């Protein structure tokens, strides 16, 4: 039986050790997923969408896509890439405008494969990642933070939010060297978790920060 996690007492498990080969343990279907021939077409689509051009933003964990679709329709001259593990994103993808690409997959595999490219992102939003007791399922790890730093422009911004105390402590530790900056604008459309936090008056910890200097 799957153990229910109490967000109020959750503490992150130790992340899996670095492999030293650019791969990340626990990635869904493996870090080399997009090197496989059956996924080559999708990998090419992502690379084309992320090639140099108008501002490119990334949202990790888009759920049903309400927020990112709102952003894409509000800022039509920017590109919006959304990545979500769950099938919920497929229906949202059917309604995405041409400046928005929604992908069902593991962002760790996308980053490890270099599909986005180095220093292409103006903004990365990670809002309310799900806590897990499985080290292989952790999103916020030193390896992923390093990949994000390499994908963001020098003046790009990472926006991170959580209502889980243990996740906030983890973020504070991993983002300690990232200079804090003003939070980038967001549209009026909220994600499901944002609505719950606002409705119930939950404490939310937020970071807006830039990649650390080399």
Domain ranges of the chain: 33-209
Strand partners for 3: none
**For the chain, what percentages of helix, strand and coil (3-state, to nearest 5) are there?**
30, 20, 50
Tokens of residue 208, six digits: 């807006």
Residues 6 or more apart in contact with residue 142 via CB below 8 angstroms: 15, 18, 174
Answer positive or negative: Cα dihedral of 173, 105, 156, 203.
negative
pLDDT band at 47 (very low <50, low <70, confident <90, very high): very high
End-to-end CA distance of the chain: 45
Give kind and range of the element (H or E) at residue 192.
Answer: helix 192-200
Q: What is the pLDDT of residues 55-97, one digit of tens each?
A: 999 999 999 999 999 999 999 999 999 999 998 898 899 999 9
Contact criterion met (CB below 8 Å) for 62 and 89: yes
Q: Residue 23 pLDDT more than 70?
A: no
Q: What percent of the chain has pLDDT over 70?
A: 92
> Could you tell me which CATH class the domain 33-209 is placed in?
alpha beta
Supply the pLDDT for residue 136. 86
Strands (E) in 61-194, as ranges, are 79-84, 100-104, 121-127, 152-162
Supply the pLDDT for residue 95. 93
Burial of 69 (0-12, 13-18, 19+ CB in 10 A): buried
Question: What single-letter DSSP state applies at residue 187?
Answer: -
- pTM score: 0.93
């Amino acid at each position: 039986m799957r153990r229910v996690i109490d967000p109020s007492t959750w503490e992150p498990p130790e992340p899996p050790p670095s492999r030293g080969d650019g791969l990340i343990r626990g990635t869904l279907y493996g870090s080399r997923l997009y090197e496989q021939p059956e996924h080559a077409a999708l990998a090419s689509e992502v690379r084309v969408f992320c090639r140099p051009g108008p501002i490119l933003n990334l949202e990790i964990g888009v759920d049903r896509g309400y927020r990112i679709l709102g952003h894409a329709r509000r800022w039509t001259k920017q590109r919006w890439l959304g990545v979500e593990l769950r099938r919920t994103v497929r229906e949202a993808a059917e309604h995405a405008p041409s400046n928005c690409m929604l992908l069902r997959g593991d962002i760790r595999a996308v980053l490890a494969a270099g599909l986005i490219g180095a220093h292409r992102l103006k903004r990365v939003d990670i809002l309310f990642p799900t806590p897990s007791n499985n080290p292989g399922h952790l999103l916020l790890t030193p390896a992923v933070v390093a990949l994000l730093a390499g994908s963001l422009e020098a003046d790009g911004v990472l926006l991170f939010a959580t209502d889980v105390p243990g996740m906030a402590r983890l973020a504070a530790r991993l983002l300690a060297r990232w200079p804090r900056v003003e939070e980038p604008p967001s549209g009026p459309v909220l994600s499901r978790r944002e609505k719950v936090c606002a409705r119930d008056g939950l404490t939310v910890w937020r970071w807006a920060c830039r990649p650390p200097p080399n």
